[in-house]
Amino acid sequence: MYVIVVYDVGEKRVGKVCKFLRRYLPHIQNSVFEGDLTEAKLEAVKAGLNKIMIYDEDSAILWAFRDSHFSDRQILGTEKKPVSNFL
Amino acid sequence: MYVIVVYDVGEKRVGKVCKFLRRYLPHIQNSVFEGDLTEAKLEAVKAGLNKIMIYDEDSAILWAFRDSHFSDRQILGTEKKPVSNFL
């Protein structure tokens, strides 16, 4: 499956979420991960995020597509390298 | 078309980008917009972002899909209301 994940979590958990997601997906922008995952790994990602996140304060949105059949994917501006000091 | 937009821009331009994108799409998380757009409006969004953004410093990623046929869309944690003081 083709997956996009964005998150908005408390400062204390940003590094933890980022480090966790890096085990599964390429980090393409601050707080944004994108790539291919099996259905089982997508479930692992959700379970892992639910463990790290604080329900009332944090938020993550995951979109999963059968394949990467988007009609357009475009980067405007610079393709930012994920900032390492976010870890 | 079903469109997801994420951006990471310099602090001075965050409000401007946010205000601009709100004219076209629902604001679903800090720096994330999502919704339906005609192809013409998608082009207007790209053109507008390119005008506001500074090429070397800012970044935005746009995914466009023929329709919202994702197999899964899930929000973990709280469905954050966009923070109004970001404007």
Chain A residues within 8 A of B6 when measuring between CB atoms: 6, 29, 31-32
Residue B33 has pLDDT above 70, yes or no: yes
- How many A/B residue pairs have CB atoms within 8 Å? 129
Is the Cβ of A33 closer than 8 Å to some Cβ of chain B? no
Are B56 and A78 a contacting pair at CB < 8 A? yes
Average pLDDT per 10 consecutive residues for chain A, totaling 87 residues: 94 96 95 94 96 94 82 83 48
Q: What is the mean pLDDT of chain B?
A: 88
pLDDT for res B9: 95
Is the Cβ of B68 closer than 8 Å to some Cβ of chain A? no
pLDDT for res A84: 46
What's the ipTM? Answer: 0.84
Q: In angstroms, rounded to a whole number, what is the distance separating the alpha carbons of residues B49 and B13? A: 10
Q: In angstroms, rounded to a whole number, what is the distance separating the alpha carbons of residues A41 and B63? A: 22
Q: Crossing angle for the helix pair A39-52 and A11-22, nearest 10 degrees? A: 160
Report the DSSP beta bridge partners of residue A20.
none
pLDDT for res B85: 40
Is the Cβ of A14 closer than 8 Å to some Cβ of chain B? no
pLDDT for res B51: 97
The mean pLDDT value for B62-70 works out to 81
Of A53, A5, A57, A55, the closest CA to residue A29 belongs to A5
Minimal C-alpha gap between A20 and chain B (Å): 15
Q: What is the 3-state secondary structure (H, E, C) of chain B?
A: CEEEEEEECCHHHHHHHHHHHHCCCCEEECCEEEEECCHHHHHHHHHHHHHHCCCCCCEEEEEEECCCCCCEEEEEECCCCCCHHHC
Q: In angstroms, rounded to a whole number, what is the distance separating the alpha carbons of residues B5 and B25? A: 9
